[in-house]
Structure 1
């Protein structure tokens, strides 16, 4: 076993995770992921996970209360949040979509991903007057879909209040735009819908864990801090469920995209055309 130790002057690196800071990181993540979309060989070592989101979702689902028990807790505390029946219906509906969303995610173009991008692991440093990423803690490193890296960052930052819940849409669009600019700067000219899906679905699937956290907190008591935490978790859940609905719509676009290409290939009697378009 080998361990790499390096003295890093973290204090000299930006780590405030402001709006601008996250935009820069999103751009550089796009450039980093883009290198693998252009042919930079993916790691072949057997210890790298190749279905990271699926394994994470399975663990979250296993630790969560059964959905029947969740419904009992939800109904018990429903009045505290002025009748959130629509939110529960959205949660129940999206739980049934999870496997289909994961299957599509695993079909996306593959990149090498850090998969744990947050303020304690990723830093900006200046090299030759250009921003560069410095990453530590590669425990979750995996072969993942394009956009997945950004979604994981977004969902965690939202949960931990680095992204204000009332500014979800602004952050979502800005960070995705920066990520796409990074992919384009790397030279990737593929379909942005793939990256959009990878981003939205990997952020959205965090709702499985967040809803369970909300229900556990509701059961814990009625203290002021617990009520405030429950309110935050509820708003985060609603934002993530909205992204899950968006992911489902994008998935339909992707299915239609490949259906159209397939029809084109059949009409031309060419299977090679499908691979070229992909």
Structure 2
């Protein structure tokens, strides 16, 4: 049952005029002036010029209607100052049968459409550790029913898609410190719109008949599949499917913390703060909610390979760097628990999240109409894309074996 949760906008709110009536209305200059005042910390600055440009991106999560970067020059009376802001447009969209990330009106659903606006107004993101932060939010506007605009800091830094392996370890340490701090705190944030059971929902959307497709003899007539997979994958993915609830039930017993659930390189930036300290900036908080230690580093490792941000040959070194950094962060926050708990959670969640993607990958290979689209998106050949994903999936199935072994000691 959905819970009605009013959007609490407090100091961020700027009401848009009635002529802003769609997900992509014209930008009102009065609202923009208010946003620029907050960016420049000046109540008297006047706009001289500005322009808005759409940010090209692939919309996977249907909550996001669009992204724009707005740049310009303002005069504060003594000098002219340049400024920029990111406009992120959220909306509640009718369900798309082909999407696994449909927007929802249910506040505890993994993809509740108002969640990112709500976390900015809740104060939770204002209380992060300093090493790991979110973009500043200058204003939130509601131009029409079921549409919200977030006016966010334009992060100036090195995107995670361009990081060397060592920087992933720094981000993992920052994340470990934050999540360890939540574990040792008296309680977690208790807002009713925080997501629950994120990976159980993910697993519930998996089509078991797609996994069974690996047992079909015709599957192995495809030359690419014969080249990159062993025929044992059929038994391994079906065994994992049978074990999924056992693994998820055991994961639920791990120490609880607040999770982002989408810590992929394209949601990360590295920069130095005002004091010259290395800082990790994490964007896109639409999935945030209750999880456990070790859950968030799964995407940091395997999404990096699956989405071709890191060469698949670096998977094992990347995993080692991330796990060591995360555990170091947990220790520095004061968590003194058994490291095997984190390793189990990481292995189990990696298994059910990425190992069970094997069915979707099989369908993708068999659906030749999608091949050229993928090549255009990633700028790689289809064989390269599938090979990288196959390495991530195969490693996830190996982690399933490790999770089963660790389960005996927990």
Give the TM-score category using the shorter length: 0.7 to 0.9
Rounded to whole Å, the distance in 2 between the matches of 1:218 and 1:7 is 38
What secondary structure is seen at the aligned counterpart in 1 of 2:325?
A: helix
- How much does 1:29 deviate? 0.5
CA displacement, residues 139-193 of structure 1 (integer Å, 9 cap, x when unaligned): 1101111110111322211211223322222211121001000001111111111
Change (3 A) 1:252 1:93: same
Q: Secondary structure at the match of 2:291?
A: strand
- In structure 1, the partner of 2:215 is 71
Q: Is the 8 A contact 1:49 1:142 kept in 2?
A: yes
- Is residue 207 of structure 1 aligned with residue 354 of structure 2? yes
CA contact (8 A) 2:264 2:304 kept: yes
Bigger proportion of residues as strand: 2
Count of paired positions: 252
Match of 2:54 in 1: none
Q: Which residue of 2 aligns with 1:271?
A: none
> Which structure 1 residue ranges, 5 or more long, are not aligned?
255-278
Choose 40-49 or 171-180, whichever is displaced more: 40-49
Q: Tell me by how many angstroms 1:204 deviates.
A: 2.3
- Match of 2:153? 8
Is residue 152–residue 202 contact of structure 1 (8 Å, CA) maintained in 2?
A: no
CA distance in 2 between counterparts of 1:83 and 1:145 reads: 32
Structure 2 matches for 1:73-152, cutoff 5 A? 74-77=219-222, 80-81=226-227, 84-127=230-273, 128-152=275-299
How far the C-alpha of 1:114 sits from its partner, in A, is 1.1
Once the two structures are TM-superposed, the CA of residue 30 in structure 1 deviates from its matched residue by 0.3
CA contact (8 A) 2:213 2:359 kept: no
Pair 1:156–1:51, CA change in 2 (3 A): same
- Gap runs ≥5 in structure 2: 1-6, 10-116, 118-136, 139-150, 373-379
User: TM-score, normalized by length of structure 1?
Assistant: 0.81
Q: In 2, distance between residues paired with 1:119 and 1:8?
A: 18
The one of 139, 156, 161 equivalent to 2:308 is 161
Matches of 2:249 and 2:404, distance apart in 1: 12
Query: 1:39-78 to 2 correspondence within 5 Å?
Result: 39=185, 41-59=187-205, 61-62=206-207, 65-72=209-216, 74-77=219-222
Does the C-alpha gap of structure 1 residues 34 and 147 become closer, same or farther in structure 2, counting only changes over 3 Å?
Answer: same
After TM superposition, give the deviation of residue 24 of structure 1 in Å: 0.8
**Does the Cα contact within 8 Å between 1:53 and 1:202 map onto a contact in 2?**
yes
Q: Does 1:29 align with 2:175?
A: yes
Equivalent position SS for 2:300:
helix
**Who is 1:247 aligned against?**
403
Cα displacement (A) at 1:209: 4.9
Query: Per chain length, whose mean CA-contact separation is higher, i.e. which structure has more relative contact order (CA < 8 Å, sep 6+)?
Result: 1
Deviation of residue 216 (structure 1)?
1.8
Structure 1 window deviating more from structure 2 (67-76 vs 101-110): it is 67-76
